[in-house]
Amino acid sequence: MSRYICSMKNAAKIRLSRVEQQLVKRSDWILTKNSVMQKIRVMLEALQNERQGIVPEAIPPYLQVPLLISPKISRGENYRGLPWLVLDQPRYFNREEMLAIRTMFWWGEHFSVTLLVSGGLKKQMKPSLLSAFSMLRKNNYAICIAADPWEHHFEADNFVSLGSLTPKAYREYVSRHTFFKAGIRIPIADTGTLHEKLNSEYRRLMRIVMG
């Protein structure tokens, strides 16, 4: 028992590096991070409001329910260890099918805009997805080749650039992959044109959704 107590005491000791010791004594960097996250949330809220008017009045019957669900902004602190913010608009998720256009900020990495569709909605949209190849390729999109649709990084085991695919390979992907997910990453450095860039990519993906 005494050895167990000693072990617990040793485990409870923390050892901070010199950099960690310097940071833990400061509050300004946390306050700055909070300020940045709040500014990005405000931007996403503005994008959400602007996008409400992008959906046309004539919605195909199979899209009427998915497109009428209210959008949502979510926040987390630990996607691969880093904070994130997400705007899902539209957002439609159930066991049989999904449809989402996700605008994501990932701290220290990038912004991204992705289209995710699966199930019966993917079948309905297949002609539009197939015809979008040239447009997506021209605008530097990539497609998700992984089995998990909820991984958002753009490393080679998750996303593959459409520039490296033939039209035949793309058609096979659309036909055979469980879900369709196409995305583009936008550098954080592009803050001057960021708002319009994010909206431009949203409009591009909405055109695919609407067929």
pLDDT, tens digit, 9 for 90 and up, residues 183-201: 999 998 867 899 999 999 9
Give the per-residue pLDDT at 169.
97
Distance CA 124, CA 108 (A): 37
Q: What is the CATH number of the domain that holds 118?
A: 3.30.930
Q: Domain for residue 1, yes or no? A: no
Q: Is residue 2 part of a domain?
A: no
Distances (CA, A) of 90 to 79, 106, 148, 207: 22, 20, 20, 13
Q: Is 8 within the bounds of a domain?
A: no
Tell me: the pLDDT tens digits for 15-57? 989 888 888 888 888 999 999 999 999 999 999 999 987 776 6
Q: Report residue 23: phi and psi, to 5°.
A: -70, -40
Please compute the mean of the pLDDT values over residues 147-153 and round it to a whole number.
Answer: 96
Instruction: Check if the beta carbon of residue 210 is closer than 8 Å to that of residue 147.
Output: no
Alpha carbon 162 to its chain centroid, in Å, reads 18
Q: Does residue 92 fall inside a structural domain? A: yes
- Rounded to whole angstroms, the Cα distance separating 91 from 106 reads 19
In a domain, 21, yes or no: yes
Please name which of 41, 97, 94 lies closest in space to residue 72, comparing C-alpha atoms. 41
Domain range for 146 is 16-210
Strand order in the sheet with 179-186: 72-79, 82-93, 98-106, 110-118, 179-186, 142-144, 159-161
Answer yes or no: is 6 within a domain: no
**Domain assignment of residue 101, yes or no:** yes
Domains: count for the chain: 1
Residue 3 lies in a domain: no
Within 13 Å and on the Cβ side, how many CA atoms surround 31? 3
pLDDT value at 4 more than 50: no
Asked whether the whole model's pTM tops 0.85, one would answer yes
Question: Closest Cα to residue 100, out of 90, 113, 86?
Answer: 90
